[in-house]
Chain A
Amino acid sequence: MAPRRVEVSETTRPVLPRHARLKFDETRQRWVILAPERVLAPDEIAVEILQLCDGARAVADIVDVLAAKYAADRGEIGADVVAMLQDLADKGFLAEAKEKTP
Chain B
Amino acid sequence: MSELHLDDTTRAGETAAASAQPSVAQSYGIPLAVLLEVTHRCPLQCPYCSNPLELERAGAELTTDEWKHVLSELASIGVLQVHFSGGEPTARKDLVELVQHATDVGLYTNLITSAVLLTRERLAALADAGLAHVQISFQGSEPQIADRVGGFAGGHAKKLEVARWTRELDLPLTVNAVMHRQNLHLLPDIIEMAVALDADRLEVANVQYYGWALKNRAALMPTLQQIEDCTAIVEAAQQRLKGVLTIDYVVPDYYALRPKKCMGGWGSQFFNISPSGKVLPCHAAETITGREFPSVRDASIAQIWREAEAFNRYRGTGWMQEPCASCAFKEIDFGGCRCQAFALTGDAAATDPACALSPLHERIFKTAESEAETGSDRFLYRNFAGGTVEGA
Contact = CB atoms under 8 A, between A and B. Distances in A.
Interface string A20-35: 0101011110101111
Interface string A51-91: 00000000000000010001010001100110110011111
Contact of A92 (B32, B106, B172, B196): B172
Contacts of A36: 110, 132-133, 135, 172, 174, 200-201
Interface in B107-144: 108, 110, 132-133, 135
Interface residues of A, number: 45
Given A19-B132, A27-B18, A36-B201, A46 B174 contact: no
Contacts of A30: 18
A4 B83 CA distance: 26
Interface in B229-245: 242-245
B374 interface: no
A60 to B, nearest CB: 17
B1 A41 contact: no
Main secondary structure of the interface of B (DSSP, over half): loop
A72 B1 contact: yes
Contacts of A32: 80
B16 interface: yes
Contact of B30 (A4, A27, A46, A90): A27
B7 A18 contact: no
Interface of B: 1-7, 9-13, 16, 18-21, 29-30, 32-33, 77-78, 80-81, 83, 106, 108, 110, 132-133, 135, 170-172, 174, 195-196, 198, 200-201, 242-246
Interface of A: 1-5, 17-19, 21, 23, 25-28, 30, 32-43, 45-46, 49, 66, 70, 72, 76-77, 80-81, 83-84, 87-92
